[in-house]
Structure 1
Amino acid sequence: MSDREEFLAWVDGDLAQAERAMMNGDDGPRRAIWSTGERVSALGAWRNAVGRAALVDAFEVLAASFSDCTEWSFDLISYDVAGDMAYTVGYERMTASIDGSPRTFTLRATQVYRREGDGWKVVHRHADAA
C-alpha cells in the first residue's frame, strides 16, 4: 500500500469514526487522533484553540453540545502526502443535534496531519460554515 493509500484509509477509518463520535457527544476518539504535542491549533466554526490544553477544553465544550448524529460524511476535494506531512480539504456534511435541536449543516474543512510514532495525527484544523 502506498503512503497516499495508507493515509486515505486512515482518513476513511479512524478520522471518520472520531468525527462521528464527536457529533454524538464523545470527544475521546477525536482526542486520540490529534497530536499530543503543543504545536496544535484549531480555527473552528464554533471555537478556536492553540495548544493541547486549549484544544482538549474546546473538544469537551463542543462534545457537550452535540448529540444524536444520524449522518456524517466527508467529501474530499484535495489531499496530498509529502513524507511525514499530509493535508485534506473538503466538505463535512452532517445531521446532528446541537444543544438538543436537530440541525443539518456543512462545514468547509482543511486539516494538516503529521505522521508520528503511532500513526497519523491531526496538528491543525480550520473549519467554517459553507
Structure 2
Amino acid sequence: MKDGELDKVIEQDHEALAAFGLGDPGPKKRLYSRGDDVTLANPLGPPVRGWQGVSAALDAAAAMLRDGAVTGFERIAEGETTDPAYIVEIERSTTKLGGAEELSPVALRATTIYRREEDGWKIVHRHADPITTPRPVESVATP
C-alpha cells in the first residue's frame, strides 16, 4: 500500500487477530470506526450494522476462542485511494474453538475496508468466512 499510516493500521489489525484468537476482542475493537454505518459479517453470526452491534458481535465471537495463534496471511488483493482502502486476504491461525481441548486450524477468506477518519484509518467493514477452496454449487443451498 502507498500510505505508511494505513500499512501500520493493517499491521495492527493483524496483531489484533492474534489477541482475538486468545479470546481478547479489545485490540480489534480499537481499530473500528464508531460510526452508525460500520458493518461486520463474521463466520460466527449474522451480519451486524452500527458500532453497538459490531462491538457486541466481536465480544461474542472472541468469547468462543482461546489459546489461538496466527500462522500467516496471504494477500489476495489490495486497493487504496485517499479514502477508502481495502484488503482481501486468507487469514490462517490455530485456536481452540468453543469448549474444544484441541487446537484447530482456521483459514478465513477476509475482506476488510478501511476509511480515513479524523483520528486516522479505521475499519468500516469486515467480512470473513471459511470459504478458501472450491466447493460444490450445492453447498450454497439453505438447509
The structure whose residues are more often helix, as a share, is 1
Could you tell me how far 1:9 is from its partner in structure 2? 3.2
Task: Name the counterpart of 1:19.
Answer: 17
**Residue 10 of structure 1: CA displacement?**
2.5
State the identity %.
Answer: 35
Tell me which protein shows more strand as a share of its residues: 1
Deviation >3 Å, runs of 4+: none
Q: Specify the alignment match of 1:41 in structure 2.
A: 39
> Alignment partner of 1:53: what SS?
helix
For residue 73 of structure 1, report the CA deviation from its aligned partner.
2.4
- Asked if the contact 1:67–1:100 (Cα under 8 Å) also holds between the matched residues in 2, the reply is no
Task: Give how far 1:74 is off.
Answer: 1.8
Does 2:106 correspond to 1:108? no
TM superposition shift of 1:120:
1.2
The residue number in structure 2 matching 1:90 is 89
For the structure 1 residues 72 and 51, does the alpha-carbon distance in structure 2 shift closer, same or farther, using more than 3 Å as the test? farther
Gaps of 5+ in 1: none
Give the aligned length.
128
Equivalent in the alignment of 2:141: none
Residue by residue over 1:40-82, the C-alpha shift from the partner in whole angstroms, topping out at 9 and shown as x without a partner, is: 1112211121111111110111111111013342211111110
The CA RMSD over aligned residues, in Å, is 1.6
